Structure 1
Amino acid sequence: MTDPLAKILVADDEPDLRALLQRYLSDQGYTVRTVDGAGPLDVLLQRERFDVLVLDVMMPGEDGLAICRRLRAQGETIPILMLTARGDPVDRIVGLEMGADDYLPKPFNPRELLARIQAMVRRQRVLGAHTGPRQAGGRIVFGAFTLWLDERRLERNDGNDGHGAQDVPLTTGEFALLQALARQPHRPLGRDRLIALAYGPDHTATDRSIDVQVMRLRKLIEADPAQPRHIRTVWGVGYVFVPDGTAPGGGRQP
């Protein structure tokens, strides 16, 4: 069921497609705003909060990939669904590496776009909207980090006296994956299991998209992403979360 309060921002330089998505998504109960490029997109994001950004890759000027990378660098955590006329899997991986949460090649069936938006909004609601209030609750401490589960945020403490804490911006997808891993410490998890735990059994994530999300998390929490201490690869299985950077038996893994 569509959440009538959910707000979708569509950024695409094709007027006909903008009009189509405006009409179709509005008919499904969403509040929809559309823009044709980076400038008006930035203005709207500064003025309003949205549940999903549908972002076209091939736009003149600053393209979708550059916009996505810039927004993530600025700490913007809105879920991003990228649209592209290029179906090359490499392009999809690049989009995920830039910080996109999902990827849909053109031409697409509007019902598939709707299903993906619904899944993203539903995940936002379950995890807590990125604009929601912070609440006290459980936490998971690992290394210099504290993952506040009820507050849906990650905090890094760089000071010895506890006063150097800073929030680490996470997208909804990144938080969902880190939470799924952190709740199962020292337990190797296959990619299919991680997808189910983090995003739900109906999510369309692939093994490769999980690998890209893990790579993004490692860049945020590992001192050396090439030699991870906390999110380790278990060859032939998937990944395992190690809170203290040691193997389950107490010895440090290579």
Structure 2
Amino acid sequence: MIEDNKSVSEMMSMFFQKEKWDAHFAYDGDEGIEMFKSDPESWDIITLDLNLPGKDGMQVAKEIRAVSETVPLIMLTARDSESDQVLGLELGADDYVTKPFSPITLIARLKALHRRAEIGEDEEGNQTEKTQATSDFDVVTEHFKLSTKTREAFFDGKPVEGLTPKEFDLLHTLANSPKQVFSREKLLELVWDYEYFGDERTVDAHIKKLRQKIDNVGAQVIQTVWGVGYKFDDTGIDSTTEV
């Protein structure tokens, strides 16, 4: 937890202990990024306050994502900082919690995010080897193949690089039901594991980042259904078209 308010850190420390989690705390941005970079593979999940002394949360998030595109990251933001929330998501946060927050709510969000991140790991906690054998993919469409085992996605054999845990889950949810329209509320429930509380920015920001990464290797397959939500459709795509 990278959080400059020691009262918040002390409060959460008690809740982490109750969950039997091994928690570490940094109290400014410089200390937080230094702690992370010292052993990036050792951290299962990070909570990051945006308003930090030293390097602010935005800069810390950017540096974390430069080192690891997949470590689960939850940002803590002020309730009235809508632009910060959107920017934080665009910088690679998987979720955010607004202050003041309920410790139980944060614990629930952490558990949901960690469950999703664990799916792609084998019993030893190591990433499985890459493969493109069709039998190893549990979602196969006209142009896409996705494996929840290796947490990989391919467009016509080209890997969609740098997907965060939530971006992969979002793509998998949509691609697993081609042409089905999902509302933002339903995507929050399916991908983020919590019920809709009236905030759609989380979904929209992740869709934007996911589209950018798909654009790097192929045509756009995530379509907006105005007034309803989003759907996956890769039928009729000319994969030779430059994007």
- In 2, the alpha carbon distance for the partners of 1:169 and 1:79 equals 13
Aligned counterparts, 1:114-153, within 5 A: 114-125=107-118, 127-129=119-121, 132-134=126-128, 137-138=136-137, 140=140, 146-153=145-152
Deviation string for 1:113-153 (max 9, x for gaps)?
2222122222323x33495431662153665x653332112
Q: Per-residue deviation at 1:236?
A: 2.2
Asked if the contact 2:188/2:196 (under 8 Å) is kept, the reply is yes
- In 1, the alpha carbon distance for the partners of 2:80 and 2:176 equals 35
- In 1, the alpha carbon distance for the partners of 2:99 and 2:57 equals 14
Deviation string for 1:196-251 (max 9, x for gaps)?
332335476832211111001011112599xx62111111221121224549xxxx
Alignment-mate amino acid for residue 140 of structure 2: I
Residue 36 of structure 2 corresponds to 45
Gaps spanning 5+ residues in structure 2: where? 239-243
Residue 182 of structure 1 corresponds to 175
Q: Per-residue deviation at 1:85?
A: 3.3
Change (3 A) 1:212 1:167: closer
Asked if the contact 1:156/1:168 (under 8 Å) is kept, the reply is no
Matched pairs, number = 229
Alignment-mate amino acid for residue 127 of structure 2: P
Alignment-mate amino acid for residue 185 of structure 2: D
**Which SS does the other structure have where 1:32 is aligned?**
coil
Residue 213 of structure 1 corresponds to 206
How well do the aligned residues superpose, as a CA RMSD in angstroms? 3.2
Taking structure 1 as the reference length, the TM-score comes to 0.76
Deviation string for 1:57-95 (max 9, x for gaps)?
011221111211232244431111111235232322222
Asked if the contact 2:44/2:71 (under 8 Å) is kept, the reply is yes
- In 1, the alpha carbon distance for the partners of 2:217 and 2:120 equals 30
* 1:230 paired to 2:221: yes
Alignment-mate amino acid for residue 174 of structure 1: E
Asked if the contact 2:183/2:229 (under 8 Å) is kept, the reply is yes
**Which SS does the other structure have where 1:243 is aligned?**
coil
Gaps spanning 5+ residues in structure 1: where? 1-9, 248-254
Change (3 A) 1:112 1:201: closer
**Which SS does the other structure have where 1:239 is aligned?**
strand
Pick one of 28, 46, 60 that aligns with 2:53.
Answer: 60
Asked if the contact 1:154/1:169 (under 8 Å) is kept, the reply is no
**Which SS does the other structure have where 1:31 is aligned?**
coil
Alignment-mate amino acid for residue 146 of structure 2: L
Residue 154 of structure 1 corresponds to 153
Asked if the contact 1:229/1:245 (under 8 Å) is kept, the reply is no
- In 2, the alpha carbon distance for the partners of 1:55 and 1:114 equals 14
- Percent sequence identity is 31
- In 2, the alpha carbon distance for the partners of 1:84 and 1:111 equals 17
Pick one of 185, 188, 198 that aligns with 2:191.
Answer: 198
Deviation string for 1:156-214 (max 9, x for gaps)?
67xxxx7xx66612111111101001111222222233333323354768322111110
Alignment-mate amino acid for residue 175 of structure 2: A
* 1:108 paired to 2:107: no
Residue 230 of structure 2 corresponds to 239
- In 2, the alpha carbon distance for the partners of 1:206 and 1:129 equals 30
Looking at secondary structure, tell me which structure has more strand per residue: 1
**Which SS does the other structure have where 2:23 is aligned?**
strand
Taking structure 2 as the reference length, the TM-score comes to 0.79
Q: Per-residue deviation at 1:23?
A: 2.8
